[in-house]
């Protein structure tokens, strides 16, 4: 949105009508602390029969670093910054891009589609390259399917669907381009994930020419973990979160609160800059008019007018950068934190079920009761949640560190460029 909507939006082509920083990765062997005692154990006041108490019902905790990718930046400051977290491009075997938005005008509705291009060497795909067109609701379908079939994993967020009518034109070139970038990032995050990228629904989304056929069939082929988690009722109350996950929840609450504050302040700054820009555009021509009336002052007054015009251009560029680059990243990570908290709540629910079933076994009068299979299965689900949640948290922290490093360095560079443009014009004047 140019200068916050000062100009007329362009039209689209139409087709016609612990410390979290020290958190280990769960794919490695357990640490010495984990061997000494698991993260999740029965409550101290819960007395178990000896055979149950002797059985290892604790959960593993450990891991190795997860690899992440970092997008390149053209910013001069970022070019001087050596990122040490880049993922070697040769190790990737799935590349997805979203581009070429097109407007479709039909009798009943008007909507935008995007071209999704896939290049891969994976044997799960019949061809090395695919190109399909998808609309926003198709991306939404994919995310819902990923949540159903991979409930223990963090699913990347989508950009918000609804906009305020009359305030934002959802068919303007600026809005569509901002959404395209967000959808492209959404698919790239899934493609880089070691588990989500192999999901059957993701494969269908990337390859099927007619996705509506699969939607109608209701492809609800959930994984075993997905099925078990889906049918867990909300009647189990968690005694207490393990310290590590309690710290994770507190961090996410604080992170979302801080980002929300930054987002609100940034929007106020942009609004004030847009209002200032309107005044500045009316201010500059006054000096040109004045110069036409006084020949002796014409040259210096024209210089002032030109300087103000240059300031207008520089400020408009800076405002566009804030609107198109800065705000979307803030909002994505606010949504990301909400997604992570949702997975954390699911994990708590499964742990609550596990504790309730374990307590039921402990209350049995048998001297050496056998641990029921459903208790062991529930324990497996909690272990799976713990491992996947910690792995995804580690990946998310790595991505966040890289994204915000690039974002803040890039915005600093844009501000430097803004003041350089203004100063150079003042010196020349």
- 257-315 pLDDT tens trace: 999 999 999 999 999 999 999 999 999 889 888 888 888 888 888 888 988 998 999 99
CB-neighbour burial class of residue 206 (10 A; exposed 0-12, middle 13-18, buried 19+): buried
Q: From 285, 291, 303, 280, select the one nearest 427 (Cα to Cα).
A: 303
CATH topology of domain 239-428: Substrate Binding Domain Of Dnak; Chain:A; Domain 2 (1.20.1270)
Q: Looking at residues 27-51, what average pLDDT do you find?
A: 43
Q: Looking at residues 123-151, what average pLDDT do you find?
A: 94
Q: From 182, 344, 328, 186, select the one nearest 253 (Cα to Cα).
A: 344
Q: Is the pLDDT of residue 139 over 90?
A: yes
Which residues partner with 110 through β-bridges?
105
Q: Measured between alpha carbons, how far is 40 from 206 in angstroms, rounded to an integer?
A: 39
pTM: 0.72
Residue ranges of the domains in the chain? 92-218, 239-428
Q: Is the pLDDT of residue 65 over 70?
A: no
First vs last Cα of the chain: how many Å apart?
Answer: 31
Q: Which CATH class is domain 92-218?
A: alpha beta
CB-neighbour burial class of residue 394 (10 A; exposed 0-12, middle 13-18, buried 19+): buried
Q: Looking at residues 384-395, what average pLDDT do you find?
A: 93
């Amino acid at each position: 949105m140019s200068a916050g909507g000062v100009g007329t939006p362009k039209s689209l082509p139409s087709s016609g009508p612990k410390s979290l920083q020290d958190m280990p990765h769960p794919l490695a062997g357990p640490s010495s602390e984990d061997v000494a005692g698991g993260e999740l154990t029965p409550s101290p006041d819960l007395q178990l029969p000896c055979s149950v108490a002797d059985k290892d019902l604790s959960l593993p905790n450990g891991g190795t670093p997860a690899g992440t990718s970092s997008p390149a930046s053209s910013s001069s400051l970022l070019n001087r910054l050596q990122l040490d977290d880049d993922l070697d491009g040769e190790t990737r075997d799935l590349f997805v891009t979203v581009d070429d938005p097109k407007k479709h005008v039909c009798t009943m509705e008007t909507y935008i589609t995007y071209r999704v291009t896939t290049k891969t060497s994976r044997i799960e795909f019949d061809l090395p390259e695919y190109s399909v067109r998808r609309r926003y609701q198709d991306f939404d379908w994919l995310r819902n399917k990923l949540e159903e079939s991979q409930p223990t994993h963090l699913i990347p967020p989508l950009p918000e669907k609804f906009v305020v009518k009359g305030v934002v034109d959802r068919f303007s070139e600026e809005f569509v381009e901002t959404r395209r970038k967000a959808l492209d990032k959404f698919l790239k995050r899934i493609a880089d994930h070691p588990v989500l990228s192999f999901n059957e629904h993701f494969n269908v989304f990337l390859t099927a020419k007619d996705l509506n056929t699969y939607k109608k069939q209701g492809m609800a082929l959930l994984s075993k973990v997905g099925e078990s988690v889906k049918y867990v009722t909300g009647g189990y109350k968690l005694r207490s979160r393990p310290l590590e996950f309690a710290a994770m929840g507190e961090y996410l609450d604080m992170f979302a609160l801080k980002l929300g504050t930054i987002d609100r302040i940034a929007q106020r700054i942009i609004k004030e800059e847009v209002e200032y820009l309107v005044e500045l555009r009316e201010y500059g021509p006054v000096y040109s008019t004045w110069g036409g009336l006084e020949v002796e002052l014409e040259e210096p007054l024209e210089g002032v007018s030109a300087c103000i015009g240059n300031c207008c251009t520089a400020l408009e560029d800076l405002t566009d950068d804030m609107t198109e680059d800065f705000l979307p990243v803030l909002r994505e990570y606010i949504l990301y934190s909400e997604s992570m908290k949702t997975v954390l709540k699911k994990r708590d629910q499964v742990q609550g079920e596990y504790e309730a079933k374990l307590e039921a076994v402990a209350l049995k009068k048998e001297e050496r009761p056998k641990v029921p299979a459903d208790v062991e299965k529930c324990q497996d689900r909690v272990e799976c949640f713990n491992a996947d949640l910690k792995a995804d948290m580690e990946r998310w922290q790595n991505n966040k560190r890289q994204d915000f490093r690039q974002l803040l360095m890039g915005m600093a560079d844009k501000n430097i460029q803004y003041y350089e443009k203004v100063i150079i014009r003042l010196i020349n004047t």
